[in-house]
Structure 1
């Protein structure tokens, strides 16, 4: 794969994920502005709604993909020492994967009522 195709794919991923992230965060902001849950039970009821849970489960990997492409591009552009760049990319990959797994578990735990 050429660098041009890789750059185009990164650009497309950034734009596609940004659209969903903006729309979903807009929904969440409107919901919490006009019909905010009054307590923890109401919040759990909202998050266990299948459409809301599906929205969050789609939001998480798209947020991580968006963040990964962004941080990868910044590191490629501004960290010129290859060893440092690889170390930072590995560190960010670990943090993103761990954060994604933690958030996925939190949504499933809320949905299963544990």
Structure 2
């Protein structure tokens, strides 16, 4: 794959994920502004609604992909030493994978009621 195709794909991922992230966060902010869950049980009931759970399960990988493309581009542009760039990319990859696994576990645990 050429560098140009890689850049176009990164651009498309960044823009498409930004649209979904903005729409979903807008939905959550409007919902919580006008009808916030009263307690933890109400919040869990809301999260375990199938459409909301699906929305969160789509939100998480899109957020991680959006963050990865952004941080990768910043590191490629501004960290010129190859070893430092690889170390930082590895660190951020670990952080994003660990955060994603933790968030998926939280959603699945809420859905199972544990």
Q: TM-score, normalised by structure 1?
A: 0.99
**CA offsets, 1:11-69, max 9 Å, x none?**
00000000000000000001000110000110010000000000000000000000000
The equivalent of 1:72 in structure 2 is 72
In the aligned structure 2, how far is the partner of 1:82 from the partner of 1:62?
27
Give the gaps of 5 or more residues in structure 2: none
The equivalent of 1:11 in structure 2 is 11
Structure 1 stretches of at least 4 aligned residues deviating more than 2 Å after TM superposition: none
The equivalent of 1:24 in structure 2 is 24
- The RMSD of aligned alpha carbons is 0.4
Aligned counterparts, 1:41-56, within 5 A: 41-56=41-56
The residue matched to 2:60 in structure 1 has which SS? helix
Give the gaps of 5 or more residues in structure 1: none
The equivalent of 1:34 in structure 2 is 34
How far 1:2 sits from its partner (Å)? 1.1
In the aligned structure 2, how far is the partner of 1:61 from the partner of 1:80?
28
